[in-house]
Amino acid sequence: MKTLEQIVAQHREEWAARSRAQQQLEIENNEAVAKLYGLEDEVPSYVPLERVSLTNNSAFRWPNKTPEERDTLFTEAAIVDLVSYAVGCMLGRYSLDKSGLILADQGATVQDYLARVPSPTFPPDADNVLPIVDGDWFEDDIVAKFREFLCVAFGEEHFEGNLHFVEQALGVKTLRDYFISRGGKSKFYDDHVKRYKKRPIYWLFSSPKGSFNALIYMHRYTPSTVSTVLNEYLREYEAKLEASVHNREREAVGAGSPRQQAAAAKEAEHLRKILMELGEYEHDVLYPLATRQLVIDLDDGVLVNYLRFGKALRNFGLEKERKKVEGWGWPTNRLESSDV
């Protein structure tokens, strides 16, 4: 099996060849039209590669870049596409075993998936929740799932090299850096929101500073999904952090060196701040929302439904989006003023 780097290079060369072939066709078409009207000496027939409007024509996408820069950007875009597809496989939208959409109807279930893909080589997540936190706190978090995806899709023999290639292409030190929130932003989710033009199909539950995140697929959402995020992930994460705080506090007064004790005390204080953030998110946002057992209707559109979850979900400039919804004349009982 080829390495991921070899596959992307082949993909890039194939698109370069297609772009050149399309360029030649457009030149020949211009020449034929000019000849038909006797304008060969008056109308230029040449078409620069930068004007060949194929989606994956690097010259068209990045006309002001050098060939080397275009190759780098093509590789990054290909890996961003791969990550998006992998997440789709994790949540059941896609499958490695069957082309096209698998789950794309409201209320779709794993049973619906298995009816179409009875023996999946990479099964979808059972509860439609992928936690995204800073560290290996959950066995089924999005980083662990992506690592598994790489092994299944491209072979275990090239796993380490493929993982390094992905991280290098994305410009991150570790894969987790691409998914988790840094400074209130998640590179992965920003890419997803951009891909779907501010109408994301994967929704990110996120605490105010991004210390806790959980991704769900809107087509698999049910009124109990928020309770699953709350009870199986947020509270579980809080319990693990509390246990870690107790361990760090013991180390801070233990038998280690002064430097080790200071580091343990500092880490304990850091975790306490995270716990305070998560406690407020649970009490003020997620628990009240879970008790509502919110029902959505995808016929209302992604934006309207996303806004119904208010501060529970990642905010990506929703004040401007809210104005659009209000301009559509939605009844006030459909969107609470305190939601955003």
Residue 31 above 70 pLDDT? yes
Query: CA 201 to CA 313: how far, in whole Å?
Result: 13
Query: CA 149 to CA 175: how far, in whole Å?
Result: 13
* pLDDT value of position 338: 41
* pLDDT value of position 256: 81
Higher pLDDT pick, 317 / 315: 315
Q: Are 57 and 49 in contact (CB under 8 A)?
A: yes
* pLDDT value of position 327: 66
Residue 203 above 50 pLDDT? yes
Alpha-carbon distances of 329 from 37, 315, 318, 333, rounded to whole Å: 54, 22, 17, 11
Residue 71 above 50 pLDDT? yes
- How many other C-beta atoms can be found within 10 angstroms of the C-beta atom of residue 161? 13
Mean pLDDT of the chain: 92
Range 46-75 average pLDDT = 96
User: How far out from the chain centre does Cα 323 lie?
Assistant: 26
6: which residues sit within 8 A by CB, 6+ positions away?
none
The tokens of 163 are what?
A: 């993982």
Rg, the chain, Cα only = 25
* pLDDT value of position 243: 96
Reduce the DSSP state of residue 111 to 3 states and report it. helix
Range 65-82 average pLDDT = 97
The pTM of the full predicted model, rounded to 2 decimals, is: 0.90
Beta strand extents in the chain (DSSP E only): 130-132, 181-182, 185-186, 202-206, 213-217
DSSP element (H, E) containing 206: strand 202-206
Query: CA 221 to CA 124: how far, in whole Å?
Result: 14
* pLDDT value of position 166: 98
% of the chain exceeding 90 in pLDDT: 84
The tokens of 240 are what?
A: 């693990």
Q: Which residues pair with 130 in a beta bridge?
A: 215
226: which residues sit within 8 A by CB, 6+ positions away?
205, 286, 289, 290, 294, 309, 312
Reduce the DSSP state of residue 171 to 3 states and report it. coil
Query: CA 236 to CA 244: how far, in whole Å?
Result: 13
* pLDDT value of position 181: 77
Range 294-307 average pLDDT = 91
| 112-125 tens-digit pLDDT | 999 999 999 999 99
HSE value, Cβ hemisphere, 13 Å, CA-based, for 118 = 0
Query: CA 28 to CA 21: how far, in whole Å?
Result: 11
Q: Are 131 and 233 in contact (CB under 8 A)?
A: yes
Residue 56 above 70 pLDDT? yes
* pLDDT value of position 184: 66
- One-letter amino acid identity for 26? E
* pLDDT value of position 40: 86
Query: CA 242 to CA 249: how far, in whole Å?
Result: 11
